[in-house]
Amino acid sequence: MTPELISSLKQFAPEGVIISGLVFLFIMDAILPSSRESRLPLFVVLFSCILGALVTIGVIPTEASSLFSGVIQSDGVTTFFRLLFFFSCAGGTLLAYETKVLDRDSLSEFSLLILCVTFGMCLMASATNVLMLYIGIETVSIISFVMAGLKRDDARSNEASLKYLIFGAVASAIMIYGFSLIYGVTGSLNYGDIAKALIEGGGEPKWAILLSMVMVYVGLAYKISAFPLHFWTPDVYEGAPTPVTAFFSIAPKAAGFGAAIRFFLCVLSTPGEAGVWTPMALGHGAWTQAIAVLSVLTMLVGNLSAIGQKNVKRILAYSSVAHVGYLLMGFVSANAFGVTAVLFYLVAYCLMNLGAFWVVGLVADRKKSEDLEAFKGVGWEDPFLGVTMAIFLFSLTGIPMFSGFVGKFLLFSNVVQTPGFLWLAVIGVLNSVVSLFYYANILKAMWLDKPDTVVEAPVSSVHRIALAVLAIPTMVLGLYFEPILKVTQSLVATFR
Amino acid sequence: MSGLASGLDWLTGLHGYLAVAASLFVLGAVAVISRKNAIGVLLGVELMLNAAGLNFVIFSKYRTAAIDGQIVALFIIFIAAAEAAVALAIILRFYRLKHSMDASEANLLRD
């Protein structure tokens, strides 16, 4: 054990906790078959997440350091994403706790898989090596295919996993081919060396670099469901069991953004003074211009397709595509403020989107359907569900006083401060207005329409507490956001 | 005859191997687009993955003379195997439910 390995392992301890949880689940499943019928595996996942979060806080790095010979990097951004992943993993697990959509005996599988995905996401968000990024993405993808099809005898769940599989496999194959071209051009796998070789080569050969970056974008866009790789999102979100969908809609997306932040800023930019990067030219202009156009297309496609949908999970799926469009706006400035805006929006998005899917899951458990019809009058049947859903949807729209507004404000002001991108901010604001239409549609069904049949099914206190835990920060962060913003800023400050 | 041979000179060495990898990739992509059978699509993806692996080996031999490209190729093989295992399980389940391998039969979820 060299000193470098020991210090690397120390910084890698949170992932170590997750791996220990995984091994423990495997062993428990083997020697204690009765645990399959109980909820014990879910508690193991929750415990691992809490312990992992505590260990993460214990090893917060004060400066960026490369671990395991530069394969992954430990810095504030790594810490941020670890905490976000552990939180959303715990959220998805709690949502599965009393759900009726999953069989009891598939809960132990769910626990194993969600923990494994969490580990893969940690690798994705901290990778500074092309091979590590590929392994992280594939760990997340391959397990996600299984999770989408967890309801084995349900044709819709199976179809979701088949579609997820085919698009995912193609996207990752295209991405690894792009990586092979980068390797051929620069002769290296580490981000730092690739960036150095790209600068020394003067961006030649142009076509090979452009082609490889387009191919890498295809892989990343599939993970964050950005245009043009967004079309799997509604199908998979609709078909997958709701706890899985709630998890999918936040965590792997955040991991994709973690990978994108590192790739765009460490490979495709040259660092200037602290917190400022110069974007490299790619094709006819800097890559930030391409990202701006893709961001517009992503939010347009998401918002316009969401209008007129009948299934609430589908509406939320298209809305999540639109939110990826907003998030991509954070990259056009290529500076630390943009990264901070993206991270803050991810926090707000994580809370409100998990909450919205949570309510959908509870309503679907009660009415056996996720169509808008099923939401009729839910606000009067159970005002708690109605009020929390209203909070989440208002926040998703970006109405002032909710966390979504602060997040959007940061993203838009970041764009406005970047010369030449004012049009992007204008389109972003117009898109937020469009999104109000379909969010209001859900609220109208919940509060203004009369239910066809009244179903009496009380929501258990676990779900009430969890929804309150998600709804209260969604409101508080809309007014009192400085502490979280300060923490995010200080974490981003260590990012190089 | 000699004219033809000298015209193809550029195909020896690095460029020839790269052409093989690129055509493998294109063939895989064509299979993915044109095949209706889910297994056929999967085979196309395998071709694309192996094209990338081949690229890594070629570049590691001709460009860098380092071992890391060949290690990546090994990892690609491992990951492709894991993906194939999961994919076959999902497709088997699809066949049980639909009695068909036709990926276009997956039409329950749509706008």
Give the pLDDT confidence of A238-260 residue by residue, as tens digits: 999 989 999 999 999 999 999 99
Residue of chain B minimizing CA distance to A171: B45
Chain B contacts in chain A segment 286-315 (CB below 8 A): 305, 309, 314
Residue A155 forms contact with B (CB below 8 Å):
yes
% pLDDT > 70, chain A: 99
Residue B45 forms contact with A (CB below 8 Å):
yes
Query: Is B25 part of any domain?
Result: yes
Mean of pLDDT over chain A: 89
Query: Is A421 part of any domain?
Result: yes
Residue of chain B minimizing CA distance to A146: B86
pLDDT of residue A342: 94
Query: Is A82 part of any domain?
Result: no
pLDDT of residue B4: 58
Of how many residues is chain A composed?
A: 496
Give the phi and the psi of residue A416 in degrees, each rounded to 5: -65, -35
Query: Is A468 part of any domain?
Result: yes
pLDDT of residue A215: 94
Is residue B7 very low, low, confident or very high in pLDDT (cuts 50, 70, 90)? low
Q: Which of A51-65, A366-380, A454-468, B38-52 has the highest mean pLDDT?
A: B38-52
Host domain of residue B79: 2-100
Is residue B109 very low, low, confident or very high in pLDDT (cuts 50, 70, 90)? confident
Query: Is B51 part of any domain?
Result: yes
**What does the DSSP assignment read for A174-238?**
HHHHHHHHHHHHHS--BHHHHHHHHHHTTT-SHHHHHHHHHHHHHHHHHHHT-TTS-THHHHHHH
Is residue A280 very low, low, confident or very high in pLDDT (cuts 50, 70, 90)? confident
Query: Is B106 part of any domain?
Result: no
Query: Is B72 part of any domain?
Result: yes
Chain A contacts in chain B segment 9-38 (CB below 8 A): 18, 21, 25, 28, 32, 38
Query: Is B105 part of any domain?
Result: no
Hey, are the CB atoms on B108 and A155 less than 8 Å from each other? yes
Query: Is B107 part of any domain?
Result: no
**Do B58 and B16 meet the contact criterion of CB atoms below 8 Å apart?**
no
- A13-29: pLDDT as tens digits: 999 999 999 999 999 98
Query: Is A310 part of any domain?
Result: yes
pLDDT of residue B1: 47
Residues of chain B in contact with residue A314, where contact means CB-CB under 8 angstroms, are 111
Give the mean pLDDT of B18-36.
92
Residue of chain B minimizing CA distance to A310: B111
Give the mean pLDDT of B92-100.
89
Residues of chain A in contact with residue B91, where contact means CB-CB under 8 angstroms, are 162
pLDDT of residue A67: 86
Q: Which range (A113-117, A331-335, B101-105) has the least confidence?
A: B101-105
Chain B contacts in chain A segment 95-154 (CB below 8 A): 130-131, 134-135, 138, 142, 145-146, 149, 152-153
pLDDT of residue A141: 94
Residue B56 forms contact with A (CB below 8 Å):
yes
Query: Is A410 part of any domain?
Result: yes
Hey, are the CB atoms on A234 and B111 less than 8 Å from each other? yes
CB atoms closer than 10 angstroms to residue A495: 22
Listed in sequence order, the residues at least 6 apart from A109 whose beta carbon sits closer than 8 Å to its beta carbon are: A150
Q: Looking at this protein, which amino acid is placed at residue B86? A: V
Q: Who wins on pLDDT, B70 or B8?
A: B70
**Do A442 and A393 meet the contact criterion of CB atoms below 8 Å apart?**
yes
Give the mean pLDDT of A487-494.
88
**Do A279 and A287 meet the contact criterion of CB atoms below 8 Å apart?**
yes
Residue of chain A minimizing CA distance to B37: A166
Give the mean pLDDT of A38-58.
91
**Do A215 and A175 meet the contact criterion of CB atoms below 8 Å apart?**
yes
Give the mean pLDDT of A320-346.
92
- A399-419: pLDDT as tens digits: 888 999 999 999 999 999 988
Is residue A276 very low, low, confident or very high in pLDDT (cuts 50, 70, 90)? confident
Host domain of residue A447: 276-496
Beta bridge partners of A271: A277
Number of compact structural domains in chain A: 1
Give the mean pLDDT of A223-244.
91
Give the mean pLDDT of A92-97.
88
Is residue A79 very low, low, confident or very high in pLDDT (cuts 50, 70, 90)? very high
Mean of pLDDT over chain B: 87
pLDDT beyond 80 at A45: yes
pLDDT of residue A108: 87
pLDDT beyond 60 at B2: no
Residue of chain A minimizing CA distance to B41: A166
Residues of chain B in contact with residue A112, where contact means CB-CB under 8 angstroms, are none
Residue of chain B minimizing CA distance to A174: B48
ipTM of the prediction: 0.92
pLDDT of residue B3: 57
Hey, are the CB atoms on B49 and A176 less than 8 Å from each other? yes
Residue A180 forms contact with B (CB below 8 Å):
yes
pLDDT of residue A7: 85
% pLDDT > 70, chain B: 90
Q: Who wins on pLDDT, A272 or A157?
A: A157
Of residues B38, B53, B109, nearest to A160 (C-beta): B109
Listed in sequence order, the residues at least 6 apart from A134 whose beta carbon sits closer than 8 Å to its beta carbon are: A172, A175, A176, A179, B72, B75, B76, B79
Hey, are the CB atoms on A234 and B94 less than 8 Å from each other? no
Query: Is A156 part of any domain?
Result: no
Number of compact structural domains in chain B: 1
Domain harbouring B47, CATH code? 1.10.287.3510
Query: Is B89 part of any domain?
Result: yes
Which tokens sit at A389?
């859903």
pLDDT beyond 90 at A85: yes
Compute the distance between CA of residue A29 and CA of residue A33 in angstroms, rounded to an integer: 6
Query: Is B111 part of any domain?
Result: no
